[in-house]
Structure 1
Amino acid sequence: MRGRTLAAVTTTGLLCLSVSTVAAGPAAAEEAAPPKQATATGFGGAVSSVDPDATEIGLDVLRRGGNAVDAAVATAAALGVTEPYSAGVGGGGFFVHYDARTGTVRTLDGRETAPASLQADGFLQDDGTPYPFDDLVNSGISVGVPGTPDTWAEALADGGTMSLADVLSGPAALAERGFVVDETFRSQTLDNAERFRDFSSTAALFLPDGDAPAVGSVFRNPDLAATYRLLAEQGAGAFYGGELGRAVVDTVTAPPVADGVTREVLTGGMTMADLLAYDALERVPTHVRHGGLDVYGMAPPSSGGTTVGEALNIFETAGGTAPELGAADREHLRLEAAALAFADRNRWVGDGDVQDVPTRRLTSEEFAATRACLISPPATLPRPVAPGALDGTGCGSGGEAVDGGYEGPSTTHLTTADAAGNVVAYTLTIEQTGGSGIVVPGRGFLLNNELTDFNAVPVVAGVPDPNLPGPGKRPRSSMAPTIVLQDGRPLLAVGSPGGATIIGTVYGILVNRLDGGQSLPEAVAAPRVSEQNSAAGAAAEPAYLDSDLGREMVARGHVFRETEEIGAAAALELLPDGRVLAVAEPVRRGGGAAGVVLPRD
């Protein structure tokens, strides 16, 4: 909480912005959106995100002398403007940072926490059955204590060179002047219009005149600009104990339900004490060796680091990294390893501050050997696979297979690097696309529905569930910001949105780039499949199912279910000649934006 104790901080570089009640520009005032490019190569640092405005703001911080941490916070705040349905100060996330000065990887856990009032049966009705999922999502009871403002403050205090005011100047200006609405923003608004109309503050911001902002119009959010100004002036204390926090608590406990809404909107029990108790925590990163490289990720309550790490270990132990292996054999082993790792994720991973999570065991080569021995190509293991026995040395089962539960498909990811060699991979979210659907009145941001990542009841009766609700507990996540080192120096940084599919996206990019001979742009653009150990089959994009590789996997017994789009990765690679290659999505989610400070061919 070091970043929130000052009553005021310097406002150097912060623009003086006027407050306006106009939320969106007129639909007729069509403008051109900034250009996007999926790859950029050069010197001086790089930023990759899903949005060109956000990427440019991060690059501007680097040009002004900021480092990768400063640029990451600025880019994240800008994404809170242009990607408000995926991230913002009303949510949380995980921040992974390679510190060039110390040569170490550090991680911050900014995951939301449950209020102290939420008990294990908090999502159950009087008859003992869970509330309908839609009732939980669109309510105050699903809102976790946000961790994003404290993550920004802690990251800057630990590894940045700029003040919070400095890095928020660009995002505040962006919120005030607005951004050009694209088809993705309009379609996401329309997809959520029915539930947005249930809350007066949300409808006023995102549905002016009853409709979503038109493509090409300018969307402005002066309330969010004022929120950023307040954070700049008062630090994160404005949120954790100050007037922003009071506004959040009031909204959670008494949601601004619109006139005429007849359904009961569940209220939450968040208090100012819950906000004051919040801390973005430094965690020991997960670490595995893969092909002579060091792969670092996020420890629990994220399952991303353990599951990506375990899958890589199983894949390598089963022979997946052998250079003579054919593409189909490699893909078969990759999917089998993912299913086994997901089985262990679902059974063993939760909030390690509340129960024992066997992180070291799950990411050990010894445990991988007890799982890889189940793989017998060309046969395919029937799904779902049972979890492994933690204390075993053979191929024994750890009990009945456990489903992973629901996790929203939204979220956003960014990567940054600077000229000094610092690198950041940062994934942040408000859970569902549109979060809880509730905008804090007068503050311009949506609240998360992150607590729906808890399982309302044990997935398997009689089997201990590590992901039930609890006071102060952090729900399990699949976010997987990852940094790969070669000989102690950064080689790659990657991450993605997509709920539980994040793990498959990051794991797939790593295997394709490190073992499959693909370049990083090729690995990011490649058709995706997300194997989650489900009897319903692995989620797969149409391009994967239509490929020779996909058809060969079907012939080998793999089962898939078609999913239009999986993830929206942002990545970078440090090249041997000193350049950095920034990579964003070429198509998914409308295409991303990669940029470098000094472009060079």
Structure 2
Amino acid sequence: MRVLLSAALGASLSIIASPSQAQSTVAPEAATGRTAKTLGVTSRDMVAAANPLATEAGREILRAGGSAVDAAIAVQLVLNLVEPQSSGLGGGAFMVHWDQTRRSLSTLDGREVAPAAATPNLFMGADGKPMGFMAAVVGGRSVGVPGTPKLLEEAHKRWGRLPWARLFEPALRLADEGFTVSPRLNGLLGMEKALLNDPIARAYFYDADGKPWPVGHVLKNPTFAQTLRALQQGGAKAYYEGGIGKEIIAAVTSHPTNPGGMTSDDLKNYSVEERSAVCGKYRAYTICGMGPPSSGAIAVQQILGMLETKDMARIGPGPEALHLFSEAGRLAFADRALYLGDPAFVSVPVRGLVDRGYVASRAKLIDAEKSIGRAKAGEPPFRRADIFAPSDGIEHGTSHISVVDKDGDAVSMTTTIEDGFGSRIMTKGGFLLNNELTDFNFAPDENGVPVANRVEPGKRPRSSMAPTIVFDNFGRLYAVVGSPGGSLIINFVAKTLVAILDWKMDPQRAVDFPNFGSRNGPTEIEKGTEAEPWKAALEAKGHEVRLIEMTSGTQAIVVTPEGYQGGADSRREGVAIGD
């Protein structure tokens, strides 16, 4: 979908029209410490991503005259090598794109799809109960039809400047010549158990004794180089209809303990969807993001819409702000659980969920002195009479890329293979496959009432990914933001926006600021941070507080009169750089 920003600015928290699992308290990706970062400052362009080698690939492409999309493609291809646990060609992504010349915003959905053989009982055991999470994850059962390769190709057709083949060069050099294993990759491999059972992954990531390659070890991936060359020469068709696809099908269907039912037709029939962007006002700004099947933009805008009724600038960072933020999160997540799903299967009342009057009515439920506890879903306007049961769902890890090029075009892309190291299946082509189908609700109904996010053939699982682009009061590009983190993404992105827009933090300080919020369960505070002492004040207001790891990977770029400022989350290894 492509919209003119003038239309978005004319709408008050509205959609721009186009022609029960337990909540996880485990971090999507384990924490491996922080890497101190400094604010990135540039005058011409900027790219922010989760690994310096990937970020440098993006800068190389920008220096060669590439567009924001060109740079994002190069970054994604390198992330497949240096951050394989989070994203890659075996997964999916959402992209929000701003065209400065045309002043138009577009959103592309490269979300994975359930194979035709998938049934609502895909994750139900023989005992009639939902499978355990890891029992469902590991193997071919959890693998959705990947969308990332077609998304990259489609975006390049629309907004690329450099030849498609040029974008593969940075990743090809690293695959052929090798790159050094980073502390984060080494640490995560050391914590991982199931990956050792995949013979291809074991041979690639571990030594003969089953120990992860040490930090600094030069890791080469010649089979992935072959995959890259096939895509470089044949485009996405080489993946979906060629030898790469055959290898994917073989890996999924021949898994020794948990095979899946993906077919060559599933791959061949995959399509990228252009979706309706969701844009809404927040104070003097317009916040735009990805609509369903992502719940990210809707939930972020609901949280911000409720906080807009509060003077967050005056309140400032502290327990009072955390209370308000958590209560808004409870209300937003209650709506998300009931109403959000794939719009091809579920009538999602997007217009009603972000209606300014409705959000204001939800804000009135927030008591400054007492927690709601467990919030109930509201009754937004414009909803249909469809009745579904709520689903919290379990969602896990991803990566995020933010780019602005010399012409002011911007990309916010969140990309994923779902859990850390996905389904723990590595193809002969040298990349990991997703376990995205576990983003569906495992139980197809609750008390006889169907769940909106149930498994169905050809359906895209609900997501929390929230790639976001922000415009100022004059319709000018102001910020490009997004984060990994499963369902925590919503709170990570909303926190970062409040920190930048209300608390006037620079983007590095904003992304590094402690994470917190509620997903309509306990109030969660990032342990070991300056927010931890706020626990007592929250408990005095009736909050059940949990101190947990909250391993975000937020990448934020802010436009300034002098150029750009960028922040790369210190919880990961990336940087924000440019010229």
**1:266: Cα distance to partner?**
1.4
Which residue of structure 2 aligns with residue 305 of structure 1?
297
Matched, 1:132 2:132: yes
Alpha-carbon displacement from aligned partner over 1:299-337 (angstroms, at most 9, x marks no partner): 111111110011111211x32446477854433222211
Matched, 1:566 2:551: yes
Mapped contact 1:387–1:401 kept (Cα < 8 A): no
Which residue of structure 2 aligns with residue 267 of structure 1?
259
**1:433: Cα distance to partner?**
0.4
Which residue of structure 1 aligns with residue 189 of structure 2?
189
Equivalent residue letter for 1:389: E
Mapped contact 1:320–1:330 kept (Cα < 8 A): no
Which residue of structure 1 aligns with residue 434 of structure 2?
448
Mapped contact 1:38–1:592 kept (Cα < 8 A): no
Which residue of structure 2 aligns with residue 421 of structure 1?
408
Q: Residue 283 of structure 1 is aligned with which of 275, 278, 284?
A: 275
Which residue of structure 2 aligns with residue 592 of structure 1?
574
Structure 1 regions of 5+ residues with no counterpart?
Answer: 1-34, 258-264
Query: Any residues of structure 2 matched to 1:165-176 within 5 Å, and which?
Result: 165-176=165-176
Mapped contact 1:385–1:401 kept (Cα < 8 A): no
Alpha-carbon displacement from aligned partner over 1:109-158 (angstroms, at most 9, x marks no partner): 11100001111112223442223322211110100000000010011011
**Greater shift after overlay, 119-128 or 245-254?**
119-128
**Greater shift after overlay, 122-131 or 200-209?**
122-131
Q: Residue 338 of structure 2 is aligned with which of 331, 347, 354?
A: 347
Equivalent residue letter for 1:592: G
Cα distance change, pair 403–273 in 1 and its aligned pair in 2 (3 A)? closer
Cα distance change, pair 400–563 in 1 and its aligned pair in 2 (3 A)? farther
SS of the residue aligned with 1:176? helix
Matched, 1:490 2:482: no
Query: Any residues of structure 2 matched to 1:522-537 within 5 Å, and which?
Result: 522-534=509-521, 536-537=522-523
Matched, 1:407 2:395: yes
Percent identical pairs in the alignment equals 37
Cα distance change, pair 61–287 in 1 and its aligned pair in 2 (3 A)? same
Taking structure 2 as the reference length, the TM-score comes to: 0.89
Mapped contact 1:143–1:447 kept (Cα < 8 A): yes
Structure 2: distance between partners of 1:125 and 1:491? 49
Matched, 1:314 2:301: no
Mapped contact 1:111–1:474 kept (Cα < 8 A): yes
SS of the residue aligned with 2:93? strand
**1:176: Cα distance to partner?**
1.5
Cα distance change, pair 367–500 in 1 and its aligned pair in 2 (3 A)? same
Which residue of structure 2 aligns with residue 583 of structure 1?
567
Structure 2: distance between partners of 1:134 and 1:507? 29
Query: Any residues of structure 2 matched to 1:377-416 within 5 Å, and which?
Result: 377-382=368-373, 384-391=374-381, 402-408=390-396, 410-416=397-403
Equivalent residue letter for 1:521: Q
Mapped contact 2:74–2:170 kept (Cα < 8 A): yes
Taking structure 1 as the reference length, the TM-score comes to: 0.86
Alpha-carbon displacement from aligned partner over 1:339-393 (angstroms, at most 9, x marks no partner): 10011011110101111011111111121022112112122212x2110012499
* Aligned residue pair count: 541
Matched, 1:556 2:541: yes
Cα distance change, pair 36–338 in 1 and its aligned pair in 2 (3 A)? closer
Which residue of structure 1 aligns with residue 198 of structure 2?
199
Equivalent residue letter for 1:196: L
Cα distance change, pair 387–458 in 1 and its aligned pair in 2 (3 A)? farther
SS of the residue aligned with 1:197? helix
Cα distance change, pair 327–52 in 1 and its aligned pair in 2 (3 A)? same
Query: Any residues of structure 2 matched to 1:332-343 within 5 Å, and which?
Result: 332-343=323-334
Mapped contact 2:552–2:569 kept (Cα < 8 A): no
Query: Any residues of structure 2 matched to 1:228-243 within 5 Å, and which?
Result: 228-243=228-243
Matched, 1:431 2:418: yes
Supply the RMSD in Å over aligned alpha carbons. Answer: 2.1
Cα distance change, pair 215–492 in 1 and its aligned pair in 2 (3 A)? same
**1:400: Cα distance to partner?**
11
Which residue of structure 2 aligns with residue 16 of structure 1?
none
**1:523: Cα distance to partner?**
1.2
Equivalent residue letter for 2:478: L
Q: Residue 374 of structure 1 is aligned with which of 337, 340, 365?
A: 365
Structure 1: distance between partners of 2:89 and 2:416? 9
Which residue of structure 2 aligns with residue 473 of structure 1?
459
Query: Any residues of structure 2 matched to 1:197-236 within 5 Å, and which?
Result: 197-209=196-208, 210-236=210-236
**1:555: Cα distance to partner?**
2.9
Mapped contact 1:86–1:433 kept (Cα < 8 A): yes
Structure 2: distance between partners of 1:528 and 1:131? 30
Cα distance change, pair 129–331 in 1 and its aligned pair in 2 (3 A)? closer
Structure 2 regions of 5+ residues with no counterpart?
Answer: 1-34
